[in-house]
């Protein structure tokens, strides 16, 4: 049994991340999870959240917006439609997006007529903005 996990993170338009790590923290569609070396084979759906690659005292933080993970042997592959590195996150844009969502939920956006709100889309926008701000330490983790 290997004492490490070989991780590949793949996404269109994103330079792949390949790293050998001690363990991985991920946000699956049904909650947080950690994967350690020797984990049983598993496939899982990713939610909108942080993917943390732990290497010694270092943590590589990635924002992942859905996708799937597959662990077999000592290899974990993450496929996601959108991944952002922590240093690529623009906090001004994330804050503005969160404020727009809050206004729309409150019915204070003149561009969206009452009753025409796409609530599933708003919830997804809110989750994406919150993940970005949490990764930058500007929003508390609940």
Q: Each residue of 51-91: pLDDT tens digit?
A: 999 999 999 999 999 999 999 999 999 999 999 999 999 99
Candidates 118, 139, 140, 128; CA nearest to 64 is 128
Residue 16: what pLDDT? Answer: 97
SS (H, E, C) the chain: CCCCEEEEEEECCEEEEEEEECEEEEEECCEEEEECCCCCCEEEEEEEEEEEEEECCEEEEEEEEEEEEEEECCEEEEECCCEEEHHHCCHHHHHHHHHHHHHHHHCCCCCCCCCCCCHHHHHHHHHHHHHHHHHCCCCCCC
For the structural domain made of 5-85, what CATH number should be given?
2.60.15.10
**Low pLDDT (below 70) residues in the chain:** 1, 114, 141-142
């Amino acid at each position: 049994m290997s004492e490490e996990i070989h991780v590949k993170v793949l996404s269109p338009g994103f330079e792949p991340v390949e790293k050998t790590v001690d363990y991985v923290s991920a946000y699956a569609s049904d909650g947080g999870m950690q994967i350690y070396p020797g984990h049983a084979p598993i496939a899982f759906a990713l939610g909108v959240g942080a993917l943390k690659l732990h290497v010694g005292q270092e943590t590589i933080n990635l924002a992942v917006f859905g996708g799937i993970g597959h662990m077999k042997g000592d290899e974990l592959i993450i496929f996601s439609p959108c991944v952002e590195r922590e240093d690529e996150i623009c906090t001004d844009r994330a804050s503005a997006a969160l404020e727009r969502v809050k206004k729309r939920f409150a019915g204070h956006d003149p561009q969206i007529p009452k009753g025409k709100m796409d609530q599933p889309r708003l919830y997804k926008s809110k989750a994406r903005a919150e993940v970005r701000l949490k990764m930058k330490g500007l929003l508390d983790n609940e």
